[in-house]
Copies of this chain bind each other. A is one copy, B any other.
């Protein structure tokens, strides 16, 4: 599905016991990914050269970017600068729609 830009969705990939992700659309330059969290789920602090946005499809998240924490709720969005360290936790559980540019090649099936 290396050039897929249609609405077909990829398979769910388990990240840990509380979180999983699936690719909604991608092209080499951009990828749209849904990340689903159970209550108490978290995304550990990390960074990548890809520019990212996160849109809150559902739930409430504490989202920290470059050391600055904020609370984002359903319908909110944030932009994560390239190489900025970021992490999130959610007591409610919920889903984020993450967009990356360029695509996260490391998310593609082997």
A-to-B contact residues, CB < 8 Å: 5-7, 9, 24-27, 29-32, 34, 51-53, 55-57, 65, 70-73, 75-82, 97, 99, 101
- Please list the 7 inter-chain residue pairs (A to B) with the smallest Cβ-Cβ separation, ordered nearest first: A7-B76, A24-B77, A32-B77, A25-B77, A7-B72, A27-B79, A5-B79
Cβ of A52 to closest chain B Cβ, rounded Å? 8
Interface of A is mostly: strand
Report the Cα distance A26→B5, complex, angstroms: 23
Report the Cα distance A45→B51, complex, angstroms: 27
Q: Given A7-B77, A78-B7, A101-B101: A53 and B30 within 8 A (CB)?
A: yes
Instruction: Check B79 against A25 for contact (C-beta < 8 Å).
Output: yes
Q: Please give me the residue from chain B that is nearest to A3 by CB atom.
A: B79
